[in-house]
Amino acid sequence: MIITLICDVYGEQNNGTTITATRLIEGLKKRGHTVRMVSTMKNTDDPMYYTVPTRSFGPFNNYVASNGVKLAKKDLVTLRRAINGADVVHIMMPFKTGKYAIQVADELGVPVTSAFHVQPENVTAHFFLQKSKLANNMMYRYFDHKIYNHTNFVHCPTEFIARQLDEHKYKARKYVISNGVVPTFHKFESSRPKDLQDKFIIMFVGRYSREKRHDLLIEAVSYSKYRDKIQLILPGCGPLKNKITKLGANLPNPPIMTFMNKDDLSKTLNYADLYVHPADVEIEAISCLEAISCGLVPVISNSPKSATKHFALHPNNLFEAGNAMDLSKKIDYWIEHSKEKAKVSSEYLEYAKQFEIEHCLDEMEQMFKDAVSEYKVRGKNLACDGLDQFKTGTDKG
């Protein structure tokens, strides 16, 4: 197949959407598909990359860029070039480029699928409205109006987000498919640096933004009986780096904060002792899946807006959302119960097998094939009444 991906946020490997898109492209190419990518990224070496201009946000450009985001301007000429002759178009983000791509695909008679990688709370958090039910419901309606009500198929990384879309009356058929874990992330012997030999290493991988709650993790460590022994490693990037650095400076061992490529990240996960995922908002959290694929036991926020809580296999793998003291108690529990931690680690290694990327690529291929087949019958992309059953792969939370 010729598959055209539309993804505003694509470029440096510093955000989950780019990483997911990159792995999807690489996986589909290995299977013999031709993949065209439309984004703001310039790639003159690959004729399958179609670059559209970047939108300006005036005085907020630096803030937007610090989130690893580059949204695109309207460019119908480039979109027509990228979509003409394709078998299917896949919209990865609920923004204007996706909206115009759907219009062009309709003109050219090409079926469209979509993906739900952005929760409304990811947007409203930047305006301090993350907890506003009204604001988040408005964003759900906006996304549906612009993108999802115009496609018959939507990729949901977890059952959690599929249910959210169902509750908000999204009519498109939901395909529940994990974004998948690449083979780089597996358990192996990895020696830690000498200056970390006597530390209990806790990792959290996530963008430095408000909803990820690095502040909560730092506060929890400050309450721990073992705070002198704990070393936080917080790979990532984002607009709150300086604020998080300042908060962490008060710990006996200030957090290590740096960006890591997947090889370095895998090595670090394999010599760490515990993984904590304190985020309030999460569609899947591939970083948590990567951690458990390396054998780390997780401690996860039970936030009602996070799918990650469904990865918890035992009560002590969860803590009360927003409660730093409860998180501190769970951290201390795993420090004090090393034998149980080793046993649970083995359980997570087995559990993680279902998220291997090859299984997920099988399911993505099937969604694309279904979209092509159905389009031949219906001849349109508009989601219709009565199409409310879920087409699901393995249950991923």
**Same domain? 218 vs 296:** yes
**Same domain? 349 vs 364:** no
- Contact assessment for residue 55 and residue 47, using Cβ atoms and an 8 Å cutoff: no
Question: Is the residue at 303 inside a domain?
Answer: yes
**Same domain? 270 vs 171:** no
**Same domain? 291 vs 328:** yes
**Same domain? 345 vs 374:** no
**Same domain? 91 vs 111:** yes
Residue with tokens 């004090």: 336
Question: Is the residue at 188 inside a domain?
Answer: no
Question: Is the residue at 125 inside a domain?
Answer: yes
Question: Is the residue at 186 inside a domain?
Answer: no
pLDDT of residue 19: 81
Q: In whole angstroms, what is the distance from residue 85 CA to residue 303 CA?
A: 44
**Same domain? 256 vs 378:** no
pLDDT of residue 385: 41
**Same domain? 8 vs 101:** yes
pLDDT of residue 118: 85
pLDDT of residue 378: 80
pLDDT of residue 360: 92
**Same domain? 132 vs 14:** yes
**Same domain? 236 vs 208:** yes
Count of domains in the chain? 2
pLDDT of residue 388: 37
**Same domain? 17 vs 78:** yes
Question: Is the residue at 189 inside a domain?
Answer: no
Question: Is the residue at 397 inside a domain?
Answer: no
- Of 191, 189, 163, 193, the C-alpha closest to 176 is 163
CATH of the domain at 325: 3.40.50.2000
- Domain span holding position 312: 194-353
Q: Per residue of the chain (397 residues), what is the pLDDT tens digit?
A: 999 999 877 666 556 677 888 889 999 999 999 999 998 877 767 888 898 888 765 555 555 555 555 677 889 999 999 999 999 999 998 888 999 999 999 999 999 999 998 888 777 776 777 778 898 889 889 898 889 999 989 999 989 999 999 999 998 899 999 999 999 999 999 999 999 999 999 999 998 988 999 999 999 999 999 999 999 999 998 889 999 999 999 999 999 999 899 999 999 999 999 999 999 989 888 899 999 999 999 999 999 989 999 999 999 999 999 999 999 999 999 999 999 999 999 999 999 999 999 999 999 999 999 999 999 888 777 664 433 333 333 334 4
Question: Is the residue at 185 inside a domain?
Answer: no
pLDDT of residue 132: 85
**Same domain? 173 vs 203:** no
